[in-house]
Amino acid sequence: MKPPAQTYSYAPTGHQRGFTLVEAIMVMVITGVLAGILVLFIRQPVQNYLDASGRAELGDQADLALRRMARELRGALPNSVRTGLPGGVSMIEFIPTKIGGRYLSAEDGAGGPVLDFVGGAVDFTVDGSMPVGVTAIAPNDDIVVSNFGTDFAGADAYVGGNRVRVESVAGNTLTLVQNNLTLANQSPSQRFQVVRPPVMFVCDPVARTLTRYWNYGFQAVIPVAGAGQSAVLARNVLGCTFEYRVQPNVHTALIGLTIVLGRPNSDEAITLAHQIHVDNTP
C-alpha cells in the first residue's frame, strides 16, 4: 500500500504592512535635506568649472585672433601700417606683400630693359630667379618701389605715386600698364615689393566683434569700415587698442595689439596683448 499523502499548512508569522503616509513624508523631507546639502557642496565646484571653461574659450578665441593679425602684419609693406579711431571704433590697416625682388638698373651695365625712373619706359628686368607658385608675379599685380608712408609725397603706396601695375610677364621681363615712377622713387638697394590690396582689422565694441576687411581697394585715407569683403575673427569683444610706434632713425616700428573679451550676461572679462616688431626699410 502507498503511504498516505502528507499535507502541509503555513501559518502567518506576522502582519505584512507598507509605508504609512507619515513615514513617506519623513523620507521625502530627509531626502530633500540631503539633496540641499549636496547641492551646497557641489554647486561651487561646478560653477568654478563652468567659469574656467568659459574663460579658456574666450582666451583661445582672443589668442587665435591676435596670432592671425600678427602673422599678417609681419608681412606688411614697409611704412604702410595705419591706425584710426573714428567714432570709437579701433582700426588698423596695412598693405600685404606677396613677394619682393631686385630690379635691373642702368648702373648694373647688364643686358635687358631696366626700370626707368625718368622716361616712363614700361618694361624692366627682374634680377635673379623669378618666384613661382603662389608668390609668382602675375598680370594685375601691383609693384611698389621705395614706400616711405603718408608723410612723403610721391612715396605713399596708398596714393599710388610709387605704385605701378603689371600688365604682362615674359620670363624675367615685366611690362607695366603705366610707369609713373620718378627719380625720387629709386631704391638704394634696387628693391621692389609685389603687394596685394590693403587689409583692415576693425574692432567694434557696439557690435562686439573684431572683423577683417579686404578687397576694398587703395584709398588715400583710412576708409570707413564696411566696404569690400569681411569675415568676423572674434565675437564678444568689449574693446581693442591698436598702437603703431615708429622707432626714429632705425627704420623699424612696434605694433601693440590689445583685445578685451567678455562672456554674455557676465561682468567677467579677459585681456590679451601682443607686440609685433616690423621692419620699415623701404
- Asked, for residue 189, whether it belongs to a domain, the answer is yes
Taking the C-alpha atoms of residue 116 and residue 125, their distance in angstroms, rounded to an integer, is 11
The mean per-residue pLDDT over the stretch 250-267 comes to: 87
Q: Do the beta carbons of residue 237 and residue 261 sit within 8 Å?
A: yes
The CATH number that applies at residue 121 is 2.40.30
Output the pLDDT for position 17: 62
The β-bridge relationship of strands 142-144 and 90-94 is: unpaired
Q: Which three cell numbers stand for residue 32?
A: 530633500
Q: Could you give the angle at the alpha carbon of 116 between the alpha carbons of 110 and 120, nearest 5°?
A: 145
Q: Which three cell numbers stand for residue 265?
A: 550676461
238 in the same domain as 204: yes
157 in the same domain as 204: no
- Asked, for residue 264, whether it belongs to a domain, the answer is yes
Output the pLDDT for position 146: 94
Q: Do the beta carbons of residue 158 and residue 93 sit within 8 Å?
A: no
153 in the same domain as 270: no
- Asked, for residue 167, whether it belongs to a domain, the answer is yes
172-181 pLDDT tens trace:
999 999 999 9
The mean per-residue pLDDT over the stretch 189-203 comes to: 95
Which of 92-101, 199-208, 243-252 is least confident?
Answer: 243-252
Answer with the one of 174, 195, 216 that is the final residue of a domain.
Answer: 195
20-32 pLDDT tens trace:
877 778 888 888 8
Q: Do the beta carbons of residue 167 and residue 129 sit within 8 Å?
A: no
105 in the same domain as 77: no
Taking the C-alpha atoms of residue 22 and residue 123, their distance in angstroms, rounded to an integer, is 102
156 in the same domain as 116: yes
Q: What is the pTM of this model?
A: 0.81
Structurally, the chain folds into a number of domains equal to 2
Alpha helical stretches, state H, 74-183: none
176 in the same domain as 105: yes
69 in the same domain as 102: no
The upper half-sphere exposure of residue 159, i.e. CA atoms within 13 Å in the direction of its Cβ, equals: 14
Which among 264, 261, 246, 268 has a CA at the least distance from the CA of 82?
246
Answer with the one of 195, 225, 260 that is the final residue of a domain.
Answer: 195
Taking the C-alpha atoms of residue 201 and residue 163, their distance in angstroms, rounded to an integer, is 23
Contact partners, residue 140, CB within 8 Å, separation at least 6 = 165, 166
Output the pLDDT for position 105: 87
Indicate whether 245 pLDDT > 80.
yes
- Asked, for residue 6, whether it belongs to a domain, the answer is no
Residue whose entry in the numeric block shows the C-alpha cell 610706434: 245
Q: Do the beta carbons of residue 137 and residue 194 sit within 8 Å?
A: yes
Range of the domain at 127: 97-195
Q: Which three cell numbers stand for residue 59?
A: 582666451
183 in the same domain as 253: no
- Asked, for residue 31, whether it belongs to a domain, the answer is no
122-174 pLDDT tens trace:
999 999 899 999 999 999 999 999 999 888 888 999 998 899 999 999 999 99
Taking the C-alpha atoms of residue 14 and residue 36, their distance in angstroms, rounded to an integer, is 38
Q: Compute how many other C-beta atoms are within 10 angstroms of the C-beta atom of residue 66.
A: 21
Q: How confident is the model at residue 92 (pLDDT cuts 50, 70, 90)?
A: very high
Question: Mean pLDDT for the chain?
Answer: 87
- Asked, for residue 25, whether it belongs to a domain, the answer is no
Answer with the one of 177, 195, 213 that is the final residue of a domain.
Answer: 195
- Asked, for residue 89, whether it belongs to a domain, the answer is yes
108 in the same domain as 85: no
Burial class (CB in 10 A: 0-12, 13-18, 19+), 246: middle
